Amino acid sequence: MEILHEIAMLSVCTDSNKIVHLKDVFQNRHEIILVLECAPGGDFQSVLDDDVVPFEEDVQGYLRQILEALDFIHERNIAHLDIKPQNIVLMGPYPNCEIKLRDLELARVIKEDEDIREIIGTPDYVAPEILNWDPITLSADIWSLGVLAYVLLTGFSPFGGDDDKETLRNITTATLEFPLELFEGVSDMA
């Protein structure tokens, strides 16, 4: 069912040039195979894993592209719910490349007359309202985008703990900090 859900979500997004396209689907007795658009640069997490922190002007461009993808799905009342570096792919060599959003497996259609409450997402990026069991809204993606911006500008998670439990507690209780050693060279505007 999860694969069929993702196929449906990707099918809705075929008109977006900021979301990875589903090219084909194959099925046999044991598996369903999704053929997705090639992203030759890999995912953004691989850049961060190499201890590379993008320049601020590059981060602005990347965030603008992610906002374009979010605008597209939010216009269709779809919340992605898993915005993170692993779900952003590079369509060419880093750093001068287009990026696209991928992995709509956790995405949910948000209807006005229906409350969706579930604990869903990746610990470092999940919105506090989800952890508080409030109804899921499109704004959960904006929270995750803010966390992503912090990570791209510094290479560090703003709420990261020693384990997932501490990270989740930090999201709901911690004060956001902007340590000088992490934000040296980052503009006040950012």
Active site residues: 82
Q: Do the strands 88-90 and 22-27 form a parallel or antiparallel pair, or are they unpaired?
A: unpaired
SS3 147: helix
Give the number of other CB atoms < 10 A from CB of residue 85: 19
* 167: its two tokens: 């990270």
What is the C-alpha separation between 95 and 57, in angstroms, rounded? 11
What is the C-alpha separation between 115 and 185, in angstroms, rounded? 43
* 87: its two tokens: 């779900």
